[in-house]
Amino acid sequence: LDEYRRRHTDWPLHARVMTLRQVADALAAIHRHGITLRGLSPSSIMILPDGNAKLVDFHFAHVATSELTQTGDMPGIPEYMAPENFMLRAIDPRADIFSLGCLMYELLLNRKPFLDSTVPGLLQQIREAKPTRPAKVAPDIPHQLEDLMARMLRKKPASRYHSMTQVVTD
């Protein structure tokens, strides 16, 4: 995804939203099979020559019925990880919703929602700070997308969307 963005600097908003929709559809499908990706980032998404997006990295994936990945593992790339990942709590599909919210923010606004020069500072930002309102960064962003990101990026899993299917619907 990062390489595609570098080569397509004029990538229109509607095309970026459709890419995010494809990623959300893919996540909804794996969630239905009891899999939580836990490591969503631009490097886990490939844009094919026809413009379609595919999930390609399941390195940190967890299967609900498996004991192969322990709950205490801290998987993923910190900039895209949900707050609960850092607290070493049980991770469920709502962590992927948060990660997709981070990716959406970055893809639509050309900046990450949480920034710090140190990992501890970044973790604190993710756990405690609210990202800058999208409309302040890009005044022409549709309010529906702003609302969608705000709900996806809520700190408490119970306050986020409960399923990726709900994200896709909205």
Burial class (CB in 10 A: 0-12, 13-18, 19+), 72: exposed
Tell me how far the alpha carbon of residue 131 is from its chain's centroid: 14
pLDDT at 65 over 80: no
Contact 38, 61 (CB under 8 A): yes
Q: Which helix (H) or strand (E) holds 62?
A: strand 62-63
Q: CA–CA separation, 102 vs 109, rounded Å?
A: 10
Distances (CA, A) of 88 to 60, 72, 74, 149, 152: 14, 5, 7, 24, 20
pLDDT for 86: 77
Which of 52-66, 83-97, 120-134 is predicted with the least confidence, judged by mean pLDDT? Answer: 52-66
Q: Which residues pair with 45 in a beta bridge?
A: 55
pLDDT for 77: 81
pLDDT band, residue 66 (cuts 50/70/90): very low
Write the CB contacts of 22 (distance below 8 Å, at least 6 apart in sequence): 52, 53, 54
Please provide the average confidence, as pLDDT, over all residues in the chain: 88
Contact 90, 71 (CB under 8 A): yes
Contact 88, 71 (CB under 8 A): yes
pLDDT for 70: 47
Q: Within 13 A of 102's CA, how many CA atoms are on the CB side?
A: 25
Q: CA–CA separation, 144 vs 101, rounded Å?
A: 13
pLDDT for 63: 52
Q: CA–CA separation, 26 vs 140, rounded Å?
A: 28
pLDDT band, residue 76 (cuts 50/70/90): low
Average pLDDT, stretch 125-141?
94
Q: What percentage of residues in the chain have a pLDDT greater than 90?
A: 71
Q: Tell me how crowded residue 34 is: count the other CB atoms within 10 A of its CB.
A: 12
pLDDT at 35 over 70: yes
